[in-house]
Amino acid sequence: MINRIKTYFLLGILTVILVFIGGFFGKSGLITALIFAFFLNWISYFFSDKIVLTMYRAREVKENEEPYLHSIVSELSHAAEIPKPKIYIINSSTPNAFATGRSPNNAVIALTTGIIELLDEKELKGVIAHELTHIKDRDILVATIAATIAGAITFLARMLQYMAFFGSMDSDDRKNGNIFGLIAILLFAILAPIAALIVQLAISRSREYLADEGGAKICRNPLYLANALRKLAYGVKRYPMTTANPATSHLFIVSPFSGKTILTLFSTHPPIEERIKRLERMIL
């Protein structure tokens, strides 16, 4: 419940930032930016699953090809009380998994060959239950809303920078010699998208904690996922997904990147050690 409240609170912060920037342009500027951002994200919302699956060359597997996986997914989907999602396989040594699709009725769970080879049945159940929680809670929708608002913030902030530099908005300020006003506008235009990104990442991290908790309840044992996360942390370090796109890293159950790079400063995932501790403290 606390994490859900935090998620809605952070979405509210994004909205406030967006409305505040829009105030510089009046109603027409705000509406134009929102329409532009929503149009781009509408495409992403309805076709994101196909785009991501194609990006990683994922292949759908039928029940006669992978009866073992289909049996696990069927069992856990029944426990989660959602339709059984399609199963896709990604040919990669990196042990990882993600869920995509805008609703439980057209969802997909994608698993790498690396994760299938690395985890035992109980650990695999923990991972799949985690992904089913993302599907059940419609986390793709939450992420899309956040991305839409953050995208509009970035778009408006760039317009602010443009106007500040070329004087279409600050002619009065220049006449009055208000250089401090121009500096404030530029700083805000630069910092607003960064703030939006940070809030986006915070939302993503909150959803991961919720999915861990929900997955533990679905498979009725939090240690299944805790043990899986330990193995996945080691596996990703040993076999990092070098072809992973940073824009899709938030989809995976663990970050596909390895080591302390600039990407870890903006990680969409909470620390694995903290996730494991929370799971081990759970009492079902």
Give me the mean pLDDT over the 54-63 stretch: 94
Report the domain count for the chain. Answer: 1
Higher-confidence position of 36 and 103: 103
DSSP class per residue in 42-87:
HHHHHHHHHHHHHHTT-EE--TTT-HHHHHHHHHHHHHHTSPPPEE
CB 126 within 8 A of CB 225: yes
Q: Return mean pLDDT, the chain.
A: 80
Listed in sequence order, the DSSP H helices in 220-284 are 222-238, 272-281
pLDDT digits (tens, 9 = 90+) for 106-143: 899 999 999 999 999 999 999 999 999 999 988 876 66
SS3 184: helix
The type of residue at 80 is A
Listed in sequence order, the DSSP H helices in 111-251 are 113-118, 121-136, 139-166, 171-175, 179-219, 222-238
What's the CA gap between 147 and 251, in Å, rounded? 13
What's the CA gap between 84 and 63, in Å, rounded? 12
What pLDDT is recorded for position 221?
96
* DSSP one-letter code for 109: E
Buried b (16+ CB within 10 A) or exposed e, 86-123: bbbbbebebbbbbbbbbebeebbbbbbebbeebbeeeb
Give me the mean pLDDT over the 83-106 stretch: 93
* DSSP one-letter code for 270: -
What's the CA gap between 133 and 8, in Å, rounded? 18
| Domain extent for 241 | 2-281
CB 244 within 8 A of CB 257: yes
SS3 91: coil
Give me the mean pLDDT over the 55-67 stretch: 95
Give me the mean pLDDT over the 161-173 stretch: 57
What's the CA gap between 23 and 217, in Å, rounded? 45
pLDDT digits (tens, 9 = 90+) for 248-282: 777 889 988 765 544 444 566 788 999 999 999 99
Provide the sign of the torsion angle of the four alpha carbons 204, 255, 222, 49, taken in this order. Answer: positive
Q: How many CB atoms lie within 10 A of CB 273?
A: 11
Residue 76: Cβ-neighbour burial (10 angstroms; 0-12, 13-18, 19+) = buried
What's the CA gap between 173 and 212, in Å, rounded? 52
Could you tell me what percent of the chain has a pLDDT over 90?
A: 43
What's the CA gap between 161 and 154, in Å, rounded? 11
Q: For the chain, report the end-to-end CA distance as a whole number of angstroms.
A: 16
What pLDDT is recorded for position 91?
96
Name the catalytic one among 131, 208, 273, 274: 131
| 131 has catalytic annotation | yes
pLDDT band at residue 49 under the 50/70/90 scheme: confident
